Amino acid sequence: MLAERAEIDALSRCFERFKHGGPYEVLPASHPAEAIPTLTQGRPDLIVLDPQMKGLDGLRLLKQIRVIDPSIPVIVVTGQQTSREAVEVLKAGVFAYVPKPCDGTALEHLIALAIPAVVDAAGA
């Protein structure tokens, strides 16, 4: 999960309340320099990314993620992206694009859809 610290805390609490699947291990990163090493140490089932963090070129990071592993589902949660930027992010292959403020129930449903896609792809 790549987002500002306050958002990481809120999303971590959100993951704890999910009613589907097993417990989730949340590996937070509040800066891209933390995210890439985490990705190279082990494959996450899902990435939740806020491309509007300070000091972050979200599209560039998304492209780096795609080079490392193009099959990892990415959910982009953002509040201030332009239509042009949204199109670029979608072209880079995100699973979902969610505007802020996001509804916890809707996010839970998206994650439930994204994670079985990972399990199905790994078993194929």
> Mean per-residue pLDDT for 18-40?
73
Q: Higher model confidence: residue 29 or residue 112?
A: 112
Rounded Cα–Cα distance for residues 42 and 86 (Å): 28
Note the pLDDT of residue 103.
Answer: 80
| pLDDT of 124 above 70 | no
Rounded Cα–Cα distance for residues 113 and 32 (Å): 26
What is the pTM assigned to this prediction? 0.78
Rounded Cα–Cα distance for residues 89 and 94 (Å): 7
| pLDDT of 28 above 80 | no
> Mean per-residue pLDDT for 51-68?
78
Note the pLDDT of residue 4.
Answer: 61
Note the pLDDT of residue 51.
Answer: 76
Q: For residue 56, give the nearest of 2, 123, 92, 108 by alpha carbon.
A: 2
* DSSP letters spanning 51-116: TTSTT--HHHHHHHHHHH-TTS-EEEEESS--HHHHHHHHHT--SEEEESSPPHHHHHHHHHHHHH
- Mean pLDDT over all residues of the chain? 76
Task: Please provide residue 5's backbone torsions phi and psi, each rounded to the nearest 5 degrees.
Answer: -55, -45
| pLDDT of 49 above 70 | yes
pLDDT digits (tens, 9 = 90+) for 71-107: 899 998 887 767 887 788 888 889 998 888 878 788 8
Q: For residue 89, give the nearest of 77, 100, 101 by alpha carbon.
A: 77
